[in-house]
Homo-oligomer: A and B are copies of this chain.
């Protein structure tokens, strides 16, 4: 009966910490590149590392800038225009918090997959399924 089932832990898998500005696939790659290079990366190197077009990279950098995660410096190197992208201190903190939540997702998924194997998928299709 429904009332005999254990109540699911409310919001257990809501993962509120997965901030949208950081969670998008391309931006996740950009931030992972930048966290290793606190001194910054050139626009063209970032483009290459993350396999993005000029337009896509510009668009994603704008989102990251507006969210306060990244700063962009336009200047010259060898008399040629040059754009340097750097993670802000706040960006670094928020990114590492976000990565902590991602780690939790990986742990939850691995634990869930293993417990499903342990259960042997035996209850498949039967009523009275359990909640996580």
Q: Mark A85-113, 1 if CB is under 8 A from B, else 0.
A: 00000001001100100110110111111
Total residues of chain A contacting the partner, CB 8 A: 67
Task: Give A130 to B36 CA distance when docked, in angstroms.
Answer: 10
A33 within 8 A of B: yes
Q: Is the CB of B20 within 8 A of A25?
A: yes
Question: Which residues of B are found within 8 Å of A129, using beta-carbon distances?
Answer: 37, 39-42, 84
The 6 closest A-B pairs by CB, nearest first: A36-B112, A11-B51, A13-B29, A39-B123, A14-B51, A39-B129
Ordered by A's residue number, 28 sampled pairs between the chains whose C-beta atoms are within 8 Å are A10-B51, A13-B29, A13-B49, A14-B50, A14-B52, A15-B25, A31-B109, A32-B112, A33-B132, A35-B109, A35-B116, A36-B108, A36-B115, A37-B132, A38-B119, A38-B121, A38-B123, A39-B119, A39-B123, A39-B129, A45-B131, A84-B129, A92-B113, A95-B109, A99-B106, A99-B109, A102-B105, A103-B106
